[in-house]
Amino acid sequence: METRGTNINENARATILASIRQSLAASERLDRVRSEHHHASENRSSVGEQIRPAISQDALIENFRINLESVGGRCVIAKHENEASDYLRGLISRRQMKLVATSDSNLVKRIVESITDIEFIQNASTDVLFECDLGVTGAQSAIAETGTLVLESEAESHRLTSLVPPVHLCILDAGKIRQTLGEILESVGAELSPTITFITGASRTSDIELTLAIGVHGPAELHVIVIAD
Amino acid sequence: MTHLSSETFGQNARDALRDPILHGALRSLADNFVERRRAAVSSVDDWEGLREKARAIKDETLLHLDKYLLRFVENAERGGVVVHWARDGHEACGIVLDLVNGAEAKMVVKSKSMATEEIHLNEALESAGIEPIETDLGEWIIQLAGETPSHIVVPAIHKTKSQIADLFVEKVGIDKTGDVDVLTGTARRILRRKFAEAKVGISGVNFGVAETGTILILENEGNIRMTTGLPKTHIAVMGIEKIIPKFADLDVFLKLLPRSGTGQRLTAYQSLITGIKRNTDDEGPDEIHIVLLDNGRSRMLAHPVTRQSLACIRCGACLNACPVYQQVGGHAYGSVYPGPIGAVITPQLIGISKAKQLPYASSLCGACREVCPVKIDIPELLLHLRAEIADGSRANPGRKKQFGEMVAFRLYGAMWSNARLYNFGTKASRLMQRLIVRDGKIGKAGRFISKVIPPLGAWTAWRDAPAVAPRTFREQWRGKLESNDGN
């Protein structure tokens, strides 16, 4: 069985590669003729390569906040980790949340430490996660120009905690915000985690009559606390 | 409902034109998406430069597809992903089926994937006794209804809220509602259980990065994150043309795709998956399989015109912009891929003899080319395929040449390439057309023409032909020059 499968695969691989090479060889002559007629667009302006002026951290935070809010996310700027704890405590009691899942981030651990009136479940099993009212995670970086959170799986166990509960609260160190997607791709690309997730706002769909509905499979609410101390 | 065939596009289109519900849906698509796209495009400094760059990246990749594909596979395998090669849909379905059986799964969750639609994976799974559950809201709706997607991005665009509510009443037993949030909430409630239970998740792929072996999948709902994150086995079905060379190239495509598709600067989620988890205790699947699908794609590389088809990133902008799609919707095309891009790739995928009408399902207005984020010259492709239908090729003998038509076109050609004959022809036509011109046009009023020269009647059956003007441009120009000289 195993050998048969491998054989088929070897054949398919060889056939597909041969077909690609054969087709490319066939088009070579036509490509030469075309390139004489069409002058391929050379010297086009380069995209995203212009040197950008350095942006202050305050401006980055502000850009991030504006763009996150423009896609329906909530953004709170906290001067200290205590303020983040206060916001989280308020959210939990206001909504009468019972079960709260957390990732294994040290920042998250410090934030939830002072909240004693509820138990936090770190690295909850899938079954428990589906019962949780809130998921609290950190993020490894963020993109200001789009209001996007960047989650790297090697740094933190936040893949499901940020996805399954109906509300996701993310705690972000202001120093991790970059202005552009390009900058972020460069930094995460240097040491790729097995899974990187970009999150821009809450889960959404327009599949029924193009009417926007929030919270279809992922969280219906996204709260971000930016810690700027 | 019965599925329509590409071979009867003309009849399908005429039926669609008589469907008022479909028209309402298509109008809102055009109003919404076209406007949103315009706004999103204007948020980029140099949209044109970005399109050029994307196309250059795709051209480079396609010209060396064997090399980049092998690099992608090597890097994906280094990360612990198992890569499978499938020459056609049948082979791809077989591979997926073996994997699903190997995982002892009786049910799989699926996220939206045009490639799996193309190979009819759901039918293959069902006939093997495995239940595939579509989890994208639109796909789930059409799966419940037993239909096929009518749009690449919004598959259930042809259905109204009320039809969907009726469907939910019938299939999942909720009370009738007109509230989209309630309908969406119902899907959430039912599908969450499936995500939690499923042993296998099947997804598509938007981009595969050769340099790193990364696959990138975009979405808004979160069902792809569920599908790729919860089950123990993740299977991704990926056309061989999805490759891009460098990780940094994602910057270009992530700016283009959401803006072109839904008018967003970025969709809610992007999952970038590079190999399997490094510790068994980590989150995520234990196994990741990528099924590389050819299914006619490598053949498209054989000509620079057809090769463009493989640059497509499946944004759906050409559908939204197309005056034909806007009137007839997706089902009329009778193919998995509808709209302008469907009209060019379907004949190449399933064979031109099975989709002869599709290259003609266009007025060649060029709106698709204008909006295409990777600058595919769809009108050029349509003409190329029309020529193939008319002249025939090895794969398709074409239709028999008509002697009368050949003579007519020879004469026409001779006439238009000689100035004197051309002038004479203009004058002669002006005299002769007096019989058939009404209000400066040759149209239905001029039915007479079809009686005199029957084949020409087809030209005016659905549209007016312009009459030769009382004074041609050349005559006016000459007159102008003479009067100027007089001054």
CATH of the domain at B265: 3.40.50.10420
Residue B483 burial (CB count, 10 A): 9
Do B216 and B99 sit in the same domain of this protein? yes
What distance in Å separates residue B430's CA from the closest CA in chain A? 38
Contacts of A46 in chain B (CB under 8 A): 49, 53
Half-sphere exposure (Cβ direction) of B174: Cα atoms closer than 13 Å: 18
In a domain, B366, yes or no: no
Residue A28 burial (CB count, 10 A): 12
Question: Identity (one letter) of the amino acid at B30?
Answer: A
For chain B, the straight-line distance linking the first and the last C-alpha, in angstroms and rounded, comes to 73
Q: Which of B298-302, B424-428, B453-457 has the lowest mean pLDDT?
A: B453-457
Q: Is B486 helix (H, G, I), strand (E, B) or coil?
A: helix
Q: Cα(A219)–Cα(B196) distance, rounded to whole angstroms?
A: 16
Residues 6+ apart with CB under 8 A from B367: B318, B321, B322, B323
Question: CA angle B418-B387-A35, nearest 5°?
Answer: 80
What distance in Å separates residue A219's CA from the closest CA in chain B? 8
Q: Is B189 helix (H, G, I), strand (E, B) or coil?
A: helix
Average pLDDT, chain A: 91
- Number of A to B CB contacts under 8 A, please give it: 234
Partner residue facing B268 (CB), from A67, A130, A203: A203
Best mutation target, A29, A33, A158, A195, to test chain B (most B CBs within 10 A): A195
Q: Is B339 helix (H, G, I), strand (E, B) or coil?
A: helix
In a domain, B248, yes or no: yes
Q: Which residue of chain A has the CA closest to B139?
A: A207
Q: Which residue has the higher pLDDT, B363 or B467?
A: B363
Q: Cα(B213)–Cα(B23) distance, rounded to whole angstroms?
A: 43
Predicted confidence at residue B36, as pLDDT, reads 93
Interval B409-433 mean pLDDT: 87
Do B79 and B217 sit in the same domain of this protein? yes
**CB-based contact B268 A197, cutoff 8 Å:** no
Do B86 and B230 sit in the same domain of this protein? yes
Categorize the per-residue pLDDT at A37 as very low, low, confident or very high, splitting at 50, 70 and 90. low
Number of domains forming the structure of chain B: 2
Interval B242-257 mean pLDDT: 98
User: Cβ of A193 under 8 Å from any chain B Cβ?
Assistant: yes
In a domain, B170, yes or no: no
Partner residue facing A159 (CB), from B136, B229, B265: B229
Do B278 and B422 sit in the same domain of this protein? no
Contacts of B182 in chain A (CB under 8 A): none
Q: Cα(B32)–Cα(B29) distance, rounded to whole angstroms?
A: 5
Q: What is the pLDDT of residues B429-456, one digit of tens each?
A: 888 877 777 777 776 655 555 556 666 6
Predicted confidence at residue B444, as pLDDT, reads 60
Interval B178-183 mean pLDDT: 95
Q: Which of B4-8, B153-157, B342-346 has the lowest mean pLDDT?
A: B4-8
* Strand pairing category for A100-102 and A141-143: unpaired
Chain B 67-106, residues with CB within 8 Å of chain A CB atoms = 69-70, 79, 84-87, 91, 98
Whether the Cβ atoms of residue B303 and residue A30 lie closer than 8 Å to each other: yes
Predicted confidence at residue A49, as pLDDT, reads 53
Q: Which residue of chain B has the CA closest to A164?
A: B226
Residues 6+ apart with CB under 8 A from B403: none
Residue A228 burial (CB count, 10 A): 18
Among B179, B157, B176, smallest CA distance to B166 is for B176
Q: Which of A106-110, A147-151, A175-179, B436-440 has the lowest mean pLDDT?
A: B436-440
Categorize the per-residue pLDDT at B425 as very low, low, confident or very high, splitting at 50, 70 and 90. confident
Q: Cα(B223)–Cα(B26) distance, rounded to whole angstroms?
A: 26
Categorize the per-residue pLDDT at A40 as very low, low, confident or very high, splitting at 50, 70 and 90. very low
Do B249 and B102 sit in the same domain of this protein? yes
Average pLDDT, chain B: 91
In a domain, B171, yes or no: no
Interval B41-70 mean pLDDT: 96
Predicted confidence at residue A42, as pLDDT, reads 46
Interval B155-162 mean pLDDT: 94
In a domain, B314, yes or no: no
Residues 6+ apart with CB under 8 A from B414: B421
**CB-based contact B251 A15, cutoff 8 Å:** no
Q: Cα(A189)–Cα(B237) distance, rounded to whole angstroms?
A: 24
Q: Residue B14: is its pLDDT beyond 80?
A: yes
What distance in Å separates residue A95's CA from the closest CA in chain B? 19
Predicted confidence at residue A46, as pLDDT, reads 46
Question: Identity (one letter) of the amino acid at B121?
Answer: L
In a domain, B318, yes or no: no
Per the document, the length of chain B is 487
- Partnered with residue B465 across adjacent β-strands are B442
Q: What is the pLDDT of residues B374-401, one digit of tens each?
A: 999 999 999 999 999 887 655 555 556 6
Partner residue facing B275 (CB), from A19, A22, A194: A194
In a domain, B365, yes or no: no
What distance in Å separates residue A226's CA from the closest CA in chain B? 19
Q: Is B445 helix (H, G, I), strand (E, B) or coil?
A: helix
Q: Cα(A191)–Cα(B214) distance, rounded to whole angstroms?
A: 12
Predicted confidence at residue A41, as pLDDT, reads 45
User: Cβ of B135 under 8 Å from any chain A Cβ?
Assistant: yes
Interval B131-153 mean pLDDT: 96
Q: Cα(A40)–Cα(B14) distance, rounded to whole angstroms?
A: 41
User: Cβ of B440 under 8 Å from any chain A Cβ?
Assistant: no
- Partnered with residue B133 across adjacent β-strands are B109
Residue B38 burial (CB count, 10 A): 12
Q: Residue B458: is its pLDDT beyond 60?
A: yes
Interval A163-176 mean pLDDT: 97
**CB-based contact B138 A207, cutoff 8 Å:** yes
Among residues B276, B299, B322, which one ends one of the domains?
A: B299
Q: Residue B428: is its pLDDT beyond 50?
A: yes
Interval B46-64 mean pLDDT: 97
User: Which residue range(s) make up the domain with B468?
Assistant: 403-486
In a domain, B330, yes or no: no
Among residues B284, B299, B314, which one ends one of the domains?
A: B299
Q: Which of A53-57, A97-101, B287-291 has the lowest mean pLDDT?
A: A53-57
Among residues B299, B323, B338, which one ends one of the domains?
A: B299
| pTM for this model (two decimals) | 0.91
Categorize the per-residue pLDDT at B1 as very low, low, confident or very high, splitting at 50, 70 and 90. very low
Residues 6+ apart with CB under 8 A from B481: none
Partner residue facing A23 (CB), from B91, B180, B299: B299
Predicted confidence at residue A76, as pLDDT, reads 97
Do B294 and B414 sit in the same domain of this protein? no
Partner residue facing B180 (CB), from A12, A26, A211: A211
Categorize the per-residue pLDDT at B473 as very low, low, confident or very high, splitting at 50, 70 and 90. confident
Contacts of A26 in chain B (CB under 8 A): 302-303
Interval A97-112 mean pLDDT: 96
Q: Which residue of chain A has the CA closest to B88?
A: A12
Do B93 and B217 sit in the same domain of this protein? yes
User: Cβ of B265 under 8 Å from any chain A Cβ?
Assistant: yes
